[in-house]
Amino acid sequence: MARFFGKPWLPLPQTSVPIQQVAIIGAGIAGASLAQELALAGLDILIFEQTLVPATGASGNLAGNCLPIIDQRPDNPYAQWHWLAWQHAVHWWQQQPNREQLGQLTGAAKWSTHAKTQAGWQAWASRYEDSLVQWMDALPLPHQPAGLWFPQGGSFYPRRIVQHLLTHSNIQLYTQTLISQLAHTGQYWQLSSSQGLFQADAVIIASGAQTSLTFPEWGSLLQLNKGQVSHLPATAWNSPPEFALSYGGYVATTPDGITCIGASFEQQAPLGLTDSAHLHNLALLNQAYPNALSSDTLPTQGHSAYRANTYDHLPLVGPVVDIEPYQAAIRARCHQPDTITDTSAHLLPQLWMSIGHGSHGLTSAFLAAQLIRQQLLNQPTELSLTLQQAVHPARAIFRQCCYPK
């Protein structure tokens, strides 16, 4: 049995078998948020991470900003997803008893050096309550730029958040464990790994930039871009920032006095810190915030990682189709998709994914975890059908099959 979205080529299965044990592949922010979400629902979680410790990739930054994406198209799924994702992440943080150790949502400032952009942002902010966003003619910074103030914005600490998410007693973490193969026996999934065989009722792929290692056909749909963040000590500033900043680049504060500034966006670049990326980050800051730094000394510390993006900058969240038979079923109807009547037979049993969050995983992962929990357990979903289909993984396969480059 399957429920259908408004687009019948994006089916969502109804769970027909009991689900108790779930395997999650990847222990970054996407996998860890899923682990906590499902553990709190009473499920037993196995989570596999190929590296020595969790949160070493894009989730390994010391700090990152918790802010919404500004999009002036209110009915656009991209705008809706990222706005709701930010609100959901803020709500999650507010519910954590040790939230001060996981981030500081004490406000964030955002501005642009382009007058046209500023005017658009001012109109955008007028749609929302002041408790969410305010336009200010002079932000509380020494150079007093006009811009947006987000009272509930701020900085998250990704490494700490991932560690916190994995502390539930229902979660078993396996590090240095690469899942090499999945096979469904007809009753459960069997996972082959470097540490032996495991089994689970359901599997969720949340491996980010490492997806290609086990699932090359899905990994090929992701665009990997290197992002480098530079670390600055408090002594590098004339006046150390007291809240998060966003200006084309960003500044995120940490509890240790280090500020993270970023970030570079480098296509097909090898990982590793480079002076050119540090210079890029400094240039963005100096252009938007003159005289912020006490010297031009080049940073020597930072973090670099690949960010896995999709073609439309929305994540792939939901059930997974068996690609070859799915493509065979839709190929003849690419130009008449409304005549596609049933693709549910091509859904793999209890296989899900949450990948392709790009540079927005700090907010997007929490909403994705809630959606998968609701779909997996056949619970009422809070997101509209439009948003569920906007992030459905099969949309990327449909596009690849019907509208190849």
- CATH number (3.90.180.10, 3.50.50.60, 1.10.10.10, 2.40.50.100) of 2-59+160-222+311-402 reads 3.50.50.60
Q: Per residue in 144-172, pLDDT tens?
A: 999 999 999 999 999 999 999 999 999 99
Indicate the pTM of the whole model. Answer: 0.95
Q: Is the pLDDT of residue 2 over 60?
A: no
Q: Is the pLDDT of residue 235 over 70?
A: yes
Q: Where in the chain is the domain with CATH 3.30.9.10?
A: 60-70+105-155+223-306
| Distance of alpha carbon 316 from alpha carbon 109, whole angstroms | 30
Determine what percent of the chain is predicted with pLDDT higher than 90. 84
Q: Where in the chain is the domain with CATH 3.50.50.60?
A: 2-59+160-222+311-402
Q: What is the pLDDT of residue 6?
A: 64
Say if strands 21-25 and 202-205 run parallel, antiparallel, or are unpaired.
Answer: parallel
- The band of 403, judged by pLDDT with boundaries at 50, 70 and 90, is confident
Averaged pLDDT of the chain: 93
Q: Write down the architecture of domain 60-70+105-155+223-306 according to CATH.
A: 2-Layer Sandwich (3.30)
Q: Per residue in 5-19, pLDDT tens?
A: 568 789 887 766 789
Q: Is the pLDDT of residue 4 over 50?
A: no
Q: Per residue in 104-157, pLDDT tens?
A: 999 999 999 899 999 999 999 999 999 999 999 999 999 999 999 999 999 999
